[in-house]
Amino acid sequence: MNAPDADLTQVSAAPTRAGARSVPRGLALDVAHLFADEAAAEPAAGGVPLDEKLRQAYFWMVNHAIISPHYDVEFSDPARPATTFHLGDSRAAVDLPTDQSYSSFVLLPLLTFAVRGRCLLVGGPGRGKTASAILMGVIAGYPVREVRRAMQHGHPQLTVQDMFGTPLPRDLVNAESLADIDVAWRSWLGMRVKIVDEYNRIPTRTQSALLTVLADGYVEVFDQVYETGASAWYLTANDDAGGGTFQVVDALRDRIDVVVKALAFNSRFLGDLVARAERGLRPEENVPPGVVFDADEHDRLHREVLAVPFPAPVRRRLEHFASQLELLERAAWQLEYRTKDTARLAGVDPHLLALADDGRDRVEDVGAQTLNGLSVRALQSLVLYAKAMAYFRGNAEVTLADLRAVLPFVLHDKLQPDLAAPAFDDPEREPLRTDRVSWIRDLFDTACRQHDAADLDRDDPVGDVLAELGQGLDGVDEATVRTRLARIEGLLARWEQATKLHGDVYDDALALKYAHQRYSAYLSWLRWSGA
């Protein structure tokens, strides 16, 4: 192993993001700022705030470990709009963001580390997927050798026992019941960072066993159960479509929180590769102690991310977007079943039923572009990663920009495009058939524009009804209940005449039905009790 290298192990002592909440917000500067350029391989006395440490880890990775000069996770200061240039016949936009922007290939795995989520790294061979995952193991404080040994390599003969542990042969002979068989568990199961290389080459049966570990944090072999605890997972695949040796089990695919693409190497940076080869330096063997998170810090990091508030206006945007995706008007008679899921369970292609829809603008209708809606798990992942992004950027609460940044990576494998939808027919939108990140971002932007057009931030009668209900029914008299019931019925009556059944209207109608039912039941109780 090379001796630690002074430059490679350097972490900036200067705040990585001005104005972040862990950076003093006043204008006064201190001694740490004056001497910020001094090499600081060790964390400053008193410890660095964890969000700052996370940013330091990111910048160390992009500066020294992974050559990824991409800024595809763009942020712009609202006061300074991004400058855009258009190149080539396709008028490819070159946006110059005005706020600190990031490389998804480095940032998303790091956020996965923070929230202990499940990240799938996809891309061709030799793009740095495995190296990136190994770095995450080292940042968790494990020696490189241990991380490499613990990495599981998918192959067609990989069995459950290969992966998780084998029963002791002595017990297999002598045991009188399964409970008597001790299992020699594989050591990687207890690590805080778990790496499965080429997961789409794992046989289906082993994938199913892997599913329980990914989803529930335990593994079962011969009636013996091993609790693996919370950990960050990194899976790699050469083929985004899961076209490895085995088809990836849908349930396993759904458990993955984010999908990150290894972007193409920029040939302008070949010099860095040459220099690295000549120097014989391995970044994973020179990780500065200042960016390593021990178990306590990892726990605290996760807790601090969860504590980032998700404000109501941002939540409403997400609700409005998600509500657009599930409705399939012709899938059923009863309102609750008019969803794409109903069609799928019946074995009918949602696209065929969508063709029968008329009256709605199928180009503008966001829901017409997808074959499915969002699962609860997907929404949970979205909220979690939006919080992680806000935390990483030093924001006091989640902003719309944070949510918009993580959304394409979280929904990458969870939203299936209906490529026959009219929205893809426009020649300008043709590339969205293959560029799923941009497609999902465009979906969200369209939904946000519609949210603004409807002025839902200020005028949200259904939100008002639910907020009123949320305050509780204790002490509400009969006259008030009747007034509220009349208001609900009035809203539905108004829509009956004037509104197409869009996804958000569908969700709102169901919400009004829910509120109506709650009030009706309460009214019955009021009359019975004589209150």
Partner 1 sequence: MTTPGGDAPARPGAPVLDPGSTLGQVLRAHAATVDPWLRAAQGLGAEPASVRAALADVVPVADALTATHPAPADDTPTDAAPTPDGPAPDVPGADAVLAVVRTTLDLVARGRWHTGRAQRTAVVQVLPALAPWVRAHPTHVVPAVVAAADVVARTGLLDAWSARLAAAPAPADAAHVRPALLVAAWRTGLVRYRDAALDAAAALPAALAGPLLGVAPDDVADVLTRHRADRWWWPQAPDGPGVLRRVGGFAAWGGPWVGLPVAVPGGPTGWAVVADGQTWAVVADVHGAGVVPLDDLDLSAAVEAPPRPRGAVGRLLAGRAAAPEPALPVPWQDATTGVVPGGPATGDDVVLVSRAHSYALDVVRVAGGPA
The region of 85-93, 277-285, 400-408, 480-488 touching partner 1 under the rule CB under 8 A is: 277-285
CB of 242 to partner 1, least distance (A): 41
Residue 171 binding partner 1, by CB under 8 A: no
Q: Which of 303, 440, 409, 300 is nearest to 73 (CA)?
A: 409
- Alpha-carbon distance values, 405 to 17, 325, 393, 440 (Å): 17, 19, 11, 11
Which CB, 281 or 379, lies closer to partner 1? 281
Residue 33 binding partner 1, by CB under 8 A: yes
Site string for partner 1, 64-103 (x = CB under 8 A): -------------x-x------------------------
Give 218's strand partners.
227
CB of 3 to partner 1, least distance (A): 8
Q: How far does Cα 355 stand from its chain's mean position? A: 31
Residue 477 binding partner 1, by CB under 8 A: no
Whose tokens are 């950027």? That residue is 393
- R_g of the chain computed on alpha carbons: 26
CB of 39 to partner 1, least distance (A): 7
Residue 275 binding partner 1, by CB under 8 A: yes
Which CB, 79 or 531, lies closer to partner 1? 79
Q: State the amino acid at position 301 in one-letter form.
A: L
CB of 61 to partner 1, least distance (A): 18
Of 430-459, binders to partner 1 (CB under 8 A) are none
Q: Exposure of 531 by Cβ count < 10 A (0-12 exposed, 13-18 middle, 19+ buried)? A: exposed
CB of 311 to partner 1, least distance (A): 16
C-beta separation of 171 from 182 below 8 A: yes
Distance CA 217, CA 443 (A): 33
Residue 37 binding partner 1, by CB under 8 A: yes
CB of 138 to partner 1, least distance (A): 20
Distance CA 382, CA 393 (A): 16
The upper half-sphere exposure of residue 82, i.e. CA atoms within 13 Å in the direction of its Cβ, equals 14
In sequence order, which residues have a C-beta less than 8 Å from that of residue 19 and are 6 or more positions away?
Answer: 25, 394
The region of 32-40, 88-96, 197-205, 464-472 touching partner 1 under the rule CB under 8 A is: 32-40
CB of 276 to partner 1, least distance (A): 10
The region of 33-41, 137-145, 294-302, 304-312 touching partner 1 under the rule CB under 8 A is: 33-41
| Given 281, 379, 523, 526, the residue binding partner 1 (CB under 8 A) | 281
CB of 41 to partner 1, least distance (A): 13
| Given 11, 20, 22, 31, the residue binding partner 1 (CB under 8 A) | 31
Which CB, 36 or 352, lies closer to partner 1? 36
Q: State the amino acid at position 198 in one-letter form.
A: E
Torsion angles phi and psi, residue 471, rounded to 5: -75, -5
Distance CA 180, CA 191 (A): 26
| Given 38, 216, 294, 435, the residue binding partner 1 (CB under 8 A) | 38
The region of 43-51, 178-186, 275-283, 504-512 touching partner 1 under the rule CB under 8 A is: 275-283
Give 85's strand partners.
94
Residue 44 binding partner 1, by CB under 8 A: no
DSSP H or E run through 455: none
Residue 5 binding partner 1, by CB under 8 A: yes
The C-alpha angle with vertex 342 and arms to 356 and 368, in degrees rounded to 5, equals: 45
CB of 275 to partner 1, least distance (A): 5
Tell me, by CB under 8 A, how many residues bind partner 1.
24
- Alpha-carbon distance values, 280 to 181, 283, 312, 523 (Å): 48, 10, 51, 77
Residue 1 binding partner 1, by CB under 8 A: no
Which CB, 6 or 419, lies closer to partner 1? 6
Which CB, 281 or 485, lies closer to partner 1? 281
Count CB atoms within 10 A of the CB of residue 423: 22
| Given 1, 27, 45, 498, the residue binding partner 1 (CB under 8 A) | 27
Residue 270 binding partner 1, by CB under 8 A: no
In sequence order, which residues have a C-beta less than 8 Å from that of residue 20 and are 6 or more positions away?
Answer: 51, 52, 55, 393, 394, 395
The region of 19-27, 179-187, 248-256, 306-314 touching partner 1 under the rule CB under 8 A is: 19-27
Judged by DSSP in three states, 531 sits in coil
Which CB, 262 or 308, lies closer to partner 1? 308
CB of 75 to partner 1, least distance (A): 13
Residue 35 binding partner 1, by CB under 8 A: yes
Torsion angles phi and psi, residue 83, rounded to 5: -90, 140
Q: Exposure of 425 by Cβ count < 10 A (0-12 exposed, 13-18 middle, 19+ buried)? A: exposed
Largest CA distance in the chain: 88
CB of 290 to partner 1, least distance (A): 16
**Residues forming the site for partner 1 (CB under 8 A):** 5-7, 19, 25-31, 33-39, 77, 79, 275, 279-281
